Amino acid sequence: MKAARLHTFGRPPVVDDVETPTRPEGSTLVRVGAAAVGHLDLTVASGSFDIRPPLPHIGGTDAAGTVVASDTLPVGQRVIVRGGGIGLTRPGCWAEYVVVRDRHLISEEGALPLPVAATFLVPATTAWVAVHDVAGVLAGERVIVGGAAGAVGRVAAQLAVLAGAEVIGVVGRESSLALVPDGVTAVTADGIPDGLWADAVVDTTGGEPLSRALHATVRGGRAALIGYTRSPRLTLDLPNWLLAEVPLLPVSMIHRAERQRELVPTLIGLLADGSISVPVRTFPLDRTAQACADLAAGRIHGRAAVVPAR
């Protein structure tokens, strides 16, 4: 089979011909229909992460496909692949086939196109947890969503609108204003007004835009911090932050696997009926390196997926 493998940390993946994996008992062989390319994949590939798989390594933590052989699932069953170290400590999904422990598969009945099924889980579940479980957004509140043109931020903004909030979507540049979902007021980071006027922040970017959003949040508000696409650093005016008493609440899905599984039916329903959307740009598997480069350079608006040739 063909697989995109990392041979050197910090270098692009290379598509190689490798043996199709065999499945041990308790695992399922999945034919990959589409595999996500995400920021976690880039972090692993950089070699700067605390998780450093042995090389060469097949990347890709998420995918959607069909069952080829299994002890527990019927052949042809549509499944979503997520968890169990896939793409981190175990061979990942940037391949024509992947072996997955049965407990790390989620059945999906074909309601979504394969590229959407492969890529929605992380942004949609993360956004739901940030908006509802962590920030606790309520109807009638005003919410700033940082990075509202990106994959997670876009879904977070849509979910906050569905919750009945007034949503201000912040983007990094004017060219991204048109990418903010309907029902959201789009502004650049420089357009966040001064003064105390927001009840909550849901941020995916970090850096200076987050500092501005926190400064605009009322005393006792809350800020759910998801990502760092703009910058992994945050500078705070500590005296005024302490005065404002706005808690900084981290959102990490690494330890929320069960919550992810619980949310899947609800989110598939919202995606299938058009209540929320996750735009996906697809690449052939043999252009995985290009997908990684475009994602790293900020040229992907939404999600990216690689699709094996058939």
What is the arithmetic mean of pLDDT over 57-76?
97
Rounded to whole angstroms, the Cα distance separating 168 from 181 reads 11
Question: Is the separation of the CB atoms in 271 and 247 below 8 Å?
Answer: no
Q: Which domains does the chain have, with CATH numbers?
A: 2-120+278-307 (3.90.180.10), 122-250 (3.40.50.720)
Phi-psi region of 84 (alpha: psi -120 to 50; beta: other; left: phi over 0): left
Nearest residue to 107 (alpha-carbon basis) of 135, 136, 65, 145: 65
Three-class DSSP category at 309? coil
Nearest residue to 301 (alpha-carbon basis) of 201, 209, 229, 227: 229
- pLDDT of residue 20 exceeding 90: yes
Tokens of 143: 């919410």
Q: Would you place residue 227 in the very low, low, confident or very high pLDDT band (cuts 50, 70, 90)?
A: confident
The set of residues, in sequence order, having a beta carbon less than 8 Å from that of 286 and lying 6+ positions away, is: 2, 15, 309
| Percent of the chain with pLDDT strictly greater than 90 | 73
Rounded to whole angstroms, the Cα distance separating 221 from 124 reads 23
DSSP 102-123: GGGEEE--S-S-HHHHHHSHHH
Residue 31 has a pLDDT of: 98
Nearest residue to 206 (alpha-carbon basis) of 185, 171, 234, 168: 234
- pLDDT of residue 148 exceeding 90: yes
What is the arithmetic mean of pLDDT over 265-275?
95
Q: Name residue 65's amino acid.
A: G
- pLDDT of residue 44 exceeding 90: yes
Question: pLDDT of 168-222, one tens digit each?
Answer: 999 988 888 999 999 999 999 888 877 768 999 999 988 888 888 888 889 989 9
Question: Omega of the bond prior to 250 within 30 degrees of 0, cis?
Answer: no
Residue 83 has a pLDDT of: 87
- φ/ψ (deg, to 5) at 35: -130, 135
Rounded to whole angstroms, the Cα distance separating 205 from 300 reads 15
Q: How, if at all, do strands 185-188 and 166-171 pair?
A: parallel
DSSP state of 252: -
Tokens 């699932």, residue located: 73
The set of residues, in sequence order, having a beta carbon less than 8 Å from that of 55 and lying 6+ positions away, is: 6, 7, 8, 9
Residue 305 has a pLDDT of: 98
Q: How many CA atoms lie within 13 A of 143 on its CB side?
A: 34
Tokens 């959003």, residue located: 213
Sign of CA dihedral 276, 282, 288, 293: negative
- pLDDT of residue 33 exceeding 90: yes
Nearest residue to 127 (alpha-carbon basis) of 162, 103, 86: 162
What is the arithmetic mean of pLDDT over 224-235?
84
Q: Name residue 250's amino acid.
A: P
Give the C-alpha distances (Å, rounded to integers) separating 67 from 21, 32, 72, 290.
14, 9, 10, 28
Q: Would you place residue 230 in the very low, low, confident or very high pLDDT band (cuts 50, 70, 90)?
A: confident
Compare 218 and 233 and report the one with higher pLDDT.
218
The set of residues, in sequence order, having a beta carbon less than 8 Å from that of 177 and lying 6+ positions away, is: 149, 171, 186, 187, 188
Question: pLDDT of 93-147, one tens digit each?
Answer: 999 999 999 999 999 988 899 999 999 998 999 999 999 999 999 999 999 999 9
